């Protein structure tokens, strides 16, 4: 984790001008927990001259879709799952530690 975050920040500092307002990361096929952990590790190495954020559609939605399974009775659990993922990634963006919700 540390190696990925350190290498990413070093590369961004060398190549992304400070005038760029932000850098958005894609989950790139990583699982939700790993994508969130990488974002938190990168953010923790700040402050950076730009904002760091995410565009983790799959990482945000996967658990919610799995819990929903197309059943209306599963909607509340799926909504909680989506909300938990959003909270966790928002916290990771500012390098706050939040325990993941139980699976």
pLDDT band for 95, please (50, 70, 90 cuts): low
- Whole-angstrom CA distances from 59 to 13, 14, 40, 47, 82 are 26, 28, 14, 25, 10
In a domain, 18, yes or no: yes
Please count the structural domains in the chain. Answer: 1
Show the domain range for 17.
Answer: 2-93
In a domain, 100, yes or no: no
In a domain, 33, yes or no: yes
Which pLDDT value is given to residue 81? 94
- In angstroms, rounded to a whole number, what is the distance separating the alpha carbons of residues 52 and 87? 16
In a domain, 51, yes or no: yes
Window from 8-17, 26-35, 59-68 with minimum mean pLDDT: 26-35
Return the number of other C-beta atoms located less than 10 Å from residue 27's C-beta. 21
């Amino acid at each position: 984790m540390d190696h990925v975050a350190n290498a990413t920040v070093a590369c961004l500092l060398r190549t992304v001008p400070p005038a760029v307002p932000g850098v958005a990361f894609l989950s790139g096929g990583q699982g939700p927990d790993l994508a969130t952990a990488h974002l938190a590790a990168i953010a923790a190495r700040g402050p950076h001259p730009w904002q760091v954020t995410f565009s983790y559609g799959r990482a945000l939605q996967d658990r919610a879709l799995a819990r929903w399974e197309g059943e209306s009775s599963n909607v509340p659990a799926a909504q909680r799952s989506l909300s938990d993922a959003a909270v966790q990634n928002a916290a990771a963006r500012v390098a706050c530690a939040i325990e993941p919700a139980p699976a």
